[in-house]
Amino acid sequence: MKIGYKRVSTLDQNLDRQDLGEVDKLFEEKISGKSSADRPSLNSLIEFSRQGDEVLVHSIDRLARDLRDLQEIVQVLNDKKVSVKFLSENLTFSSDQYDALANLQLQMMGAFAEFERNMIRKRQAEGIAKAKQRGVYKGRKASIDPTIIQKLAAQGKGATNIATELGVSRASVYRLLKNQEMGS
């Protein structure tokens, strides 16, 4: 079975440029590639794949942006006797065939993908710092209304109950409650 995997980093990005050709099953997600642990579609693909399947990915950086994650994902799939093919790089990895040159290329391309991600984060941090100096950086919009948390806390609800009710983390609730106490 040919299984496709497509990934982009943000919701407003488009998956269309990642042409995989004809596949029997397709897994897609719009999520950062920084960690394989937090990628439900990738985890579903790994669970779904069976011996003899071939996973098609447009390019190495679509599968992972961290070299260790990349190597681990390929190894997990190969251990299941599933091959992984990267179309842009024209590299295939399978458990029955070891190619030292392909393995070197995987490591180099994975290292470049990780380097690129780190450079993006560095430039972003520099841009934020400069915007803060100019007084134009406001941070991201608050996703939690502090007045709702304050009302629920005033009703005697604890942080765990508030977090569960609002679908947020307890740390966020504690942080907002602490900020409200400090502002009072």
Residue 9 pLDDT > 90: no
**Other CB atoms within 10 Å distance of the CB of residue 67:** 19
pLDDT bracket for residue 52 (50, 70, 90): very high
Domain ranges of the chain: 2-115, 146-183
Q: Note if 9 is an active site residue.
A: yes
Give the residue from 65, 68, 183 showing the smallest Cα distance to 116: 65
pLDDT tens-digit series, residues 96-142: 777 777 778 778 877 887 888 788 889 888 988 888 888 888 777 77
**Other CB atoms within 10 Å distance of the CB of residue 113:** 22
* CATH architecture under which domain 2-115 falls: 3-Layer(aba) Sandwich (3.40)
Q: Which of 9, 32, 41, 172 is catalytic?
A: 9
**Please, what is the average pLDDT of the chain?**
86
pLDDT tens-digit series, residues 134-173: 888 877 777 788 888 888 888 998 888 888 888 888 888 8
Domain 146-183 is found in CATH 1.20.910: no
- The 10 Å CB-count burial string (b at 16+, else e) for 75-110 is eebbeeebbbbbbebebebbeeeeeeebeebbeebb
